[in-house]
Copies of this chain bind each other. A is one copy, B any other.
């Protein structure tokens, strides 16, 4: 891979932090690398831009999710671009990082890896990752936490219909700390993204819990 044009043209990648909530903890999908460099190490799913195939680096990221981990989702968000001469031994490289949120109930069916072993790891304890992917993961988690702290609701992490208790547990998983229930409920009143599902309840321990869904056209 050490062609002379490496001096002129950097490698351009898209990497994706695919985040979900499992066991009430925020988790990230990791793929074990099958080939050098960093063969055998765990990394965020990622791959090289293919100009003949991709209309944008977002397309690159979506193609990689489909091809490498069989995840087909419409909504991903750009986080930050990492770059430099030493972060990948193949040469000067640029990685555009995206994150994607996925409800865990869609994950078991979707994840059927084609080329590599995959696993879910707690974002708080992902282990050693290839390249600078620990920094990439921290950046993606920080961006998500920042949005939730600014009162955005991470509805893409939830199943299609959910209770307010499930929503609160998901926000707590993202932030890594408990939230006050009454303050959380007050905050929710202002949200137009949150829609009651008429006549749909889940029987709770004390009383039936109303079910909610994201509004049409909701974007996180």
Contact = CB atoms under 8 A, between A and B. Distances in A.
Interface residues of A, number: 25
A83 B14 CA distance: 11
A78 interface: yes
A57 B96 contact: no
A84 B58 CA distance: 9
Nearest to A3: B5
A141 interface: no
Contacts of A9: 5, 8-10, 12, 51
A10 B51 contact: yes
A7 B83 contact: no
A55 B150 contact: no
Contact of A83 (B52, B83, B91, B96): B96
A112 interface: no
A80 interface: yes
A94 interface: yes
B83 A57 contact: yes
Copies, count: 2
Nearest to A94: B12
A56 B78 contact: no
A98 to B, nearest CB: 10
A51 B94 contact: no
A52 to B, nearest CB: 6
Given A12-B12, A51-B92, 8 more contacts: A9-B9, A9-B51, A10-B12, A55-B85, A56-B84, A57-B81, A58-B83, A94-B96
29 contacts: A5-B5, A5-B9, A8-B51, A9-B9, A9-B10, A9-B12, A10-B12, A10-B49, A10-B51, A12-B94, A49-B83, A49-B92, A49-B94, A51-B85, A51-B91, A51-B92, A55-B84, A55-B85, A56-B83, A56-B84, A57-B81, A57-B83, A57-B94, A58-B83, A78-B80, A78-B81, A83-B96, A94-B94, A150-B150
